[in-house]
């Protein structure tokens, strides 16, 4: 179930696999207009963008594009060496990700599918993550191999 929020690292570990990451790129970039709104950035602020492939054992299963406001980045190495960005944010900033607004959509992206060694459609989770003070601290676009992940939600009638 995806009603409980935990990192991709923990998701892979809960499936009984060993989570690892391959960093493809990490850099400070100009924010999009949507990034400026999402993070409430000033005119000269940048975002730290990191692209990674997440592996379960030797198998690439998730392609991640993450963005963090640059003013939260004190030590970039903390974010490229850590498997979990949730853990890195907590260690680096003392900020705990407590909730996220998530949009789930099917996606066909040949470039990402090639990186994940699949010809299957992908499940994209686009998430804005918030800390305990309801500040957006992380945006993630995670592309999951649909042949390796099955998401469900428990819904209750109220």
Task: Output the domain CATH number for residue 71.
Answer: 3.40.1410.10
- 3-class SS at 111? helix
Answer yes or no: is 154 within a domain.
no
Answer yes or no: is 32 within a domain.
yes
Domain that residue 83 falls in: 8-145
Answer yes or no: is 113 within a domain.
yes
What's residue 130's pLDDT? Answer: 94
What's residue 55's pLDDT? Answer: 94
What's residue 51's pLDDT? Answer: 95
Q: State the burial class of residue 76 (Cβ atoms within 10 Å of its Cβ: 0-12, 13-18, 19+).
A: middle
Answer yes or no: is 81 within a domain.
yes
Dist CA 52 CA 19 (whole Å):
12
On whether the CB atoms of residues 52 and 21 are closer than 8 A, the answer is: yes
pTM tops 0.95, yes or no: no
At residue 16, φ and ψ (nearest 5 deg) are 85, 15
Number of domains the chain contains: 1
Task: Give the pLDDT of the chain (158 residues) as one tens digit per residue.
Answer: 677 788 888 888 888 889 999 999 999 999 999 999 999 999 899 999 999 999 999 999 999 999 999 988 877 676 766 667 888 888 877 878 999 999 999 998 999 999 999 998 899 999 999 999 999 999 999 999 988 888 878 888 88
- 3-class SS at 29? strand
Answer yes or no: is 151 within a domain.
no
DSSP-derived letter for residue 74 is: S
Answer yes or no: is 66 within a domain.
yes
Answer yes or no: is 156 within a domain.
no
């Amino acid at each position: 179930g995806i009603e409980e929020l935990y990192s991709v690292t923990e998701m892979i570990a809960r499936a009984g696999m060993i989570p690892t990451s391959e960093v493809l790129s990490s850099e400070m970039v100009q924010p999009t207009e949507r990034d400026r709104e999402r993070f409430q950035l000033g005119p000269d602020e940048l975002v730290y963008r990191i692209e990674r492939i997440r592996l379960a054992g030797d198998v690439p299963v998730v392609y991640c594009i993450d963005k963090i406001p640059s003013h939260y980045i004190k030590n970039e190495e903390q974010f490229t060496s850590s498997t979990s960005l949730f853990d890195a944010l907590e260690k680096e900033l003392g900020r705990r990700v407590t909730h996220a607004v998530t949009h789930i959509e099917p996606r066909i992206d040949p470039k990402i599918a090639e990186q994940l060694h699949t010809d299957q459609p992908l499940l994209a989770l686009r998430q804005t993550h918030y800390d305990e003070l309801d500040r957006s601290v992380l945006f993630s676009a995670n592309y999951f191999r649909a042949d390796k992940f099955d998401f469900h939600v428990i819904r209750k009638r109220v």
